[in-house]
Amino acid sequence: MDGRTSLDIEEYSNTEVQKNQVLTLEEWQDKWVNGNTAFHQEQGPQLLKKHLDTFLKGESGLRVFFPLCRKTVEMKWFADRGRSVVGVEISELWIREFFTEQNLSYSEEPITEIPGTKVFKSSSGNISSYCCSIFDLPRTNIGTFDMIWDRGALVAINPGDRKCYADIMLSLLGKKFQYLLCPPFYVPHAEIERLFGKICNIHCLEKVDAFEE
């Protein structure tokens, strides 16, 4: 596998209503508290299930990163398949709900580099979730990853911050990597190329109308 390979799934609809929506961190956290979380998929996205073997390539013992992980069930999927999983999420509520709903015992400890924040770790040691802003993450000694699963994180970032976000994601990648991108609404190929093209060779696995179902 070429270490510069990036795999890209684009989910899109014929609407760009959310394209330039700007949310503060407080508004983002309010969505969790108020249950305004239609973007969360309890059973996990079907496209990942369909292309899971392509993403994993039969390799175990690899590190997978989940930006803006919410309480996504895919973290448990990857951990159950022998991968070490690390996520970052601003909402402590949803991190706790993830471990509870997946019947995982866990511990929590402060992130020393970022005062007032925590990291939650499963008792098995193969799932960690950092409760902090994605933009504070470079201050931690989190290491690099073999895979990134970006389901909706890119489009959740305010448009003006996406270049900074992409640079952080690219800094977390090891020499050989796969970055699977699955935005829940349309992102132009040119924008993906602008953000990730300096390191990634971008391939589209599939395009679907996410609103048809």
Residue 28 annotated as part of some ligand binding site: yes
Give 5-58 pLDDT, tens digit per residue: 343 434 333 334 444 555 555 655 555 455 555 544 554 577 787 887 777 777
Q: Is residue 8 part of a domain?
A: no
Q: Which residues fall within 8 angstroms of residue 56, CB to CB, at 6 or more apart?
A: 81, 83
141 marked as part of a ligand binding site: no
Domain presence at residue 91: yes
Does the annotation place 39 within a ligand binding site? yes
| Residue-range definition of the domain harbouring residue 102 | 63-212
The per-residue pLDDT for range 158-213, each reduced to its tens digit, is 889 999 999 999 999 998 899 999 887 788 999 999 999 999 999 998 887 766 55
Contact 184, 207 (CB under 8 A): no
71 is in an annotated binding site: no
Tell me the CATH number at 81.
Answer: 3.40.50.150
Q: Domain tally for the chain?
A: 1
- Known binding residue 77? Answer is no
